[in-house]
């Protein structure tokens, strides 16, 4: 890289932070250079997501069919009491052969209305994060632990999680992403079966059925605590590194 390219990359890196709402740069000098050098990772991810070779294309069709069959099996689900107040089941959306999967805890009001995951204010923040990671929202897969909105956005109860979790587990099994980012405490604790606080889990890779799983904060938490955005961006950097492996 010559000086001009270094400057251009540095400007782009700073723009990422500005877009994410930072008012200061929470990186040491060596991390800045890591950030700049991670551009090729985005390019690799983009070409994997954007250009489907023939074997991937076949896999994608099979995965899409398997996801559709799973949706049909879910049906107009009444397996737990969350069905009583929902408007729509929020099954999940994205690429059926995504390399990166995001898993939240459950739909909110906007998601319940639109039957799509992460479409409210928190969803916009997640979409921005995905884009700043160099990907498109439609090339990752986004789902939740429970697929019906818990009333008043309360946490889902243990029995509700137990009823619904097999479906997200099978979505993971079908898609077989390289990395999962779980969003928030409920998501991480439910998938991993651990009670550790999210503040201790985030930033570290765990393994779920041999898939690398990075717990991080829920975007709704970041709307209330924007100063912690840099921690999520730090987690995202580790995920990008893992995708490069
Ligand atoms: S949350 Fe899951 S298990 Fe409960 S009713 Fe909705 S789809 Fe069924």
Pocket test for ligand 1, best of 72, 79, 169 (most atoms within 8 A of CB): 79
Residue 81: both structure tokens together: 């009491």
| Residue 144 confidence (pLDDT) | 98
Predicted local distance difference test score (pLDDT) of residue 8: 67
- Asked, for residue 31, whether it belongs to a domain, the answer is no
pTM: 0.80
In a domain, 24, yes or no: no
Q: Average pLDDT of 22-29?
A: 56
Report yes or no on 204 lying in a domain: yes
Order of strands, sheet of 206-208, starting from the edge strand that comes earlier in the sequence: 93-94, 141-144, 100-104, 179-183, 211-216, 206-208
**Residue 175 forms part of a structural domain:** yes
124-154 tens-digit pLDDT:
999 999 999 999 999 999 999 999 999 999 9
Mean pLDDT, all residues of the chain: 87
77 lines ligand 1 (CB under 6 A): yes
Domain that holds residue 88: 38-244
Residue minimizing CA distance to atom 2 of ligand 1: 164
Contact assessment for residue 137 and residue 94, using Cβ atoms and an 8 Å cutoff: yes
Work out the angle at residue 18's Cα, subtended by the Cα atoms of residues 17 and 22, and round it to the nearest 5 degrees. Answer: 70
Q: What is the pLDDT of residues 174-218, one digit of tens each?
A: 999 999 999 999 999 999 999 999 999 999 999 999 999 999 999
* CATH assignment at residue 217: 3.40.470.10
Residue 53 binned pLDDT confidence (cut-offs 50, 70, 90): very low
Ligand 1 neighbour 100 (Cβ under 6 A): no
- Above pLDDT 90, what percent of the chain? 74
- Pocket residue to mutate for ligand 1, from 76, 163, 186, 190, most atoms within 8 A of Cβ: 163
Q: Quick one: CA torsion of 22, 135, 92, 58, rounded to 10 degrees?
A: -170
Please give the tally of structural domains in the chain.
Answer: 1
Note whether residue 5 is domain-resident: no
């Amino acid at each position: 890289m010559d000086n001009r390219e270094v400057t251009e990359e540095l400007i782009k890196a700073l723009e990422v932070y500005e877009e994410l709402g930072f008012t200061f740069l929470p990186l040491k000098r060596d991390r800045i250079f890591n950030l700049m050098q991670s551009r090729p990772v985005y390019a690799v991810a983009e070409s994997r997501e954007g250009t489907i070779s023939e074997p991937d294309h076949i896999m994608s069709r099979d995965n899409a069919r398997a996801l559709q069959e799973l949706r049909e099996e879910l049906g107009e689900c009444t397996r737990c009491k969350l069905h009583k107040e929902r408007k729509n089941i929020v099954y999940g959306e994205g690429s059926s052969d995504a390399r990166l999967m995001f898993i939240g805890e459950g739909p909110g009001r906007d998601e319940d209305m639109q039957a799509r995951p992460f479409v409210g204010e928190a969803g916009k923040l997640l979409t921005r994060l995905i884009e700043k990671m160099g990907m498109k929202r439609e090339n990752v897969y986004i789902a939740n632990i429970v697929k019906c909105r818990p009333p008043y956005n309360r946490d889902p109860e243990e029995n509700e999680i137990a009823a619904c979790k097999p479906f997200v587990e099978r979505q993971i099994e079908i898609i077989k992403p390289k990395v999962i980012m779980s969003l928030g405490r409920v998501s991480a604790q439910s998938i991993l079966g651990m009670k550790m606080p999210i503040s201790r889990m985030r930033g570290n890779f765990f393994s779920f059925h041999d898939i690398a799983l990075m717990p991080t904060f829920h975007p709704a938490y970041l709307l209330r605590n924007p100063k912690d955005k840099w921690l999520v961006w730090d987690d995202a950097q580790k995920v990008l590194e893992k995708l490069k492996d």
